[in-house]
Each structure stands twice: as structure tokens, then as C-alpha cells.
Structure 1
Amino acid sequence: MTLITTIAMQRGQKWLTEGGLRPTRQRLSLASLLVGDGHDRHVTAEGLYAAALESGEKVSLATVYNTLRAFCDAGLMHEITVDGTRSYFDTRMDDHPHFFWEDENLLSDAPAEELELARIPAPPEGAEITRVDVIIRVRKA
């Protein structure tokens, strides 16, 4: 038996429906952990895996990775690559910058209203810009 609340499961179900995904037991459980409290999340696959195990859900790390990829493909999340080896998954879908806390390996939202980009390069011929990720690396002073 999992420790996920009914309200969290309902939010997870609605989120999956919005993405056009079939609500398998594992997808529903992971979706509920991600959006069940109504707050946006920045998670790693390993962090979500640990939360799933803690909630009582029996799921493999490979399933968590595959499910996060399906959520991204469905337009429910963005994958944010901080470096070549570390990816975070963000449930907040609007364009916004991030702080990467180097000493804690955490990603958090940065205030979009304070970011000013004067100009970005034009894309190469035959290409279009799909998204611009801004990651500001910080550490506690």
C-alpha cells in the first residue's frame, strides 16, 4: 500500500490526462509524487526513485527514467541538463531561469522578471529556436 493521498492521486490523474498518457499504476504513482501537492518540482530520476520507494511504490530506477522521459515527451515536464552527467526534470512549463546550487546539487527557480536578455543569436539557416535554458550557478557564501 502506498502513502500517497487521494487528492495527490487525483491531481496526478488529471496531469496524466492533460498529457494524453495512459494512467498505469506506476505512472500515476510517480505523477502523484510530482504534482500531487500542487507545487512545482525539480527532481532527478534518483530523487524521484527514492521518494517512490519511501511512499511504498515498488518501481525500478529504469522505470522512473522511462516514465520521466514519457512525461517530457508528452509536454508535461522539461528536462534541464546542468552538465553532461546531471539532468533535472521540472514540472513548471513556462520559460524561466534556474539557480543551480553547486554545493547542494539542487536546482531552483530564479526570478524570471529579473532576467534580461538583450539579444540571442539567430539560429542557423533551416533551424528554429525551440527553447533557451538559463542556468545560473551559485553556492552559499
Structure 2
Amino acid sequence: MAPSKAPSKRSMKSRRADHAKAPLGSLAGCPFHDLRVKLCAAGLRPTRQRIALGWLLFAKGDRHLTAERLQEEAQASRVSISLATIYNSLHQFTEASLLREIAIDGSRTYFDTNVTDHHHFLVEGANILIDIPQVAVDLLRLPPPPAGKRIAQVDVIVKLRDVELA
């Protein structure tokens, strides 16, 4: 059996052209295509760095990350990106409603890939956030907002500590 030839530049060009002409739905299910569509729909240009960060953020389901943790994951995946670029991208993703920013005591900021209304447990010492469904927290007794203001969002963070055995 003869070894197969490498595809010619012409055939590669023609395949790219066919791919570009393919109906949009035919690419659905491709993780990178879906991520590009998600970024474009949010008004963000799908740059190489945003695609790489988006892959790290969204490919593993709902989770809570700090910028530093995301940089560690990027380095482990051999994605070269500065911490400043990661912060800028995380804030752009947040402004585009792709992420939710959660500030804890003004000292640590997490970015949540689950943008639905929900609350969090914070495991102190381990700095781990755990989702609490919104329906599990009673928000019926909120004070009324000052005149001319409305409540935009309520974030409840319940801090947890290990039970000390006596």
C-alpha cells in the first residue's frame, strides 16, 4: 500500500473555503466554534488570548476562579499570558455578562462562570466557594432601597468554619 500524500496547499485552501461557506449550524458542537460564537455574541472579539482563557474558564463547567489560579492553569496548559492580561480579560468577560465577579472582604476576588442568580458558601482557610441555589436563601425581608434607587443584585456569602471537636 502506497503511503498517502500530504494534502496540497490548494486542497487545504479549498477545504478552508468550504468550511467558511458551511452553514453556521454545521459547526455547532465544536467547542472552539461555540466559544467564538459566545464571545462574539457578547460583543468581544475572539482573540487568541480570549479563546485560550475562555477555554480554561468554561470547558470544565461552573466554577469559581481567581485571576492567579487562572494564570496557574494557563501556565500548566502552556498558554503564555500575563497576569495583567488575565485581569483585563476577566473584567471584560464580566462586563459582557459572561462571568460574575465576587469580592470577598475586599481582599480576594473570584470570578464565577455561573452567571445565574445564586449565592455562596465560603469555606474559610481553604478559600473555596460553593454555590447555594437562590431559592435556598430567603430574601423577603430586605430593607427598602433609598429614594431614587433600586436593588440591582443581592449577593449572600455565608462563611463556613470547621467544627471544633471538644
Work out whether the TM-score is over 0.5. Answer: yes
Q: Which residue is equivalent to 2:108?
A: 86
Higher relative contact order (CA 8 A, sep 6+): 1
Residue 8 of structure 1: how far off its partner (Å): 4.4
Structure 1: distance between partners of 2:34 and 2:128: 25
The 2-side partners of 1:127 and 1:71 are apart by 26
Residue 24 of structure 1 aligns with an amino acid whose one-letter code is T
Q: Which range moves more in the overlay, 50-59 or 120-129?
A: 120-129
Residue identity opposite 1:96 in structure 2: H
Alpha-carbon RMSD across the aligned residues, in angstroms, is 1.7
TM-score (norm 1): 0.88
Aligned length: 135
Moved over 4 A (4+): none
Give aligned-pair identity as a percent.
45
Shift of 1:122: 1.5
Structure 2 spans left out of the alignment, 5+ residues: 1-28
Equivalent of residue 75 in structure 2, options 53, 59, 68 = 53
Alignment of 1:1-141 (within 5 A): 7-37=30-60, 39-141=61-163
Q: Distance in 2 between matches of 1:78 and 1:15?
A: 16
Amino acid at match of 1:93: V
Number of the residue aligned with 1:3: none
Check whether the contact 1:15–1:31 (CA below 8 A) recurs between aligned residues: no
**Which runs of no fewer than 5 residues in structure 1 stay unpaired?**
1-5
CA distance 1:41–1:18, shift in 2 (3 Å): farther
Q: Which amino acid aligns with 1:102?
A: E
Compare 11-20 and 117-126 and name the one that shifted more: 11-20
8 A contact 1:9–1:29 mirrored in 2 = no
Shift of 1:112: 2.8
Q: Structure 1 pair 89/41, CA: closer, same or farther in 2 (3 Å)?
A: same
